[in-house]
Each structure stands twice: as C-alpha cells, then as structure tokens.
Amino acid sequence: MVMAKNDQGQTIRCSGKRAVEKATIKANKNKYNKCLQTPPMQDYFVRDFGYDGNTPAADAVLAGTYVPPPEADPVMVDFLRH
C-alpha cells in the first residue's frame, strides 16, 4: 500500500499491484522531471555541457574562459564564474 494524491489533490490509499505501480510511476515522474525547467537544463546549457559535463565548455568554465550565450540565466552565469 502507498499513499498518493488523486487528480483532485486528495490523499488516497493505493493498494493492489496495479494501483501501487500507477501511483509510484506518477510520483517518480513528478519527482525526476522537476529539474527540467531549471537553468542548467535549458537547451543552451545542455548544448554546451551535455548531461555529464565532459565537454570543452566545462573545461572553459574551469579555465575561467567560458562565454555563456546571451540568453543564459544571469544567476547561472554568476554561478559558473565561481
């Protein structure tokens, strides 16, 4: 059994294989997709750094020579300078 929120936002008990699987899948999707709207996951940073940071752009950050794209989030730009 697991506790989950239904489509109306109410907490419900889920029991049974299918209900538990469905609730767990929904919770995991919500949990692991939260980062997709953050600055490091935007197209321009993913394009420069990929998903593992093993790129020339990552080397440039370490060397202090990385030039972020004009559309880059200012907080992320500041973070990369440190």
CA distance 12 to 80: 43
The number of C-alpha atoms within 13 Å of 35 and in the hemisphere containing its C-beta is 7
Which residue carries 């538990």 as its tokens?
20
Q: Which two tokens stand for residue 81?
A: 């300078």
Give the start-to-end residue ranges of the domains of the chain. 2-35, 38-81
For the whole model, what pTM was predicted? Answer: 0.63
CA 13 to chain centre: 28
Per-residue pLDDT of the chain (82 residues; tens, 9 = 90+): 888 888 888 888 888 899 899 889 988 998 899 988 898 899 989 999 999 989 999 999 999 999 999 999 999 999 998 8
Integer CA distances (angstroms), 55 to 5, 16, 58, 59, 76, in order = 41, 46, 5, 7, 17
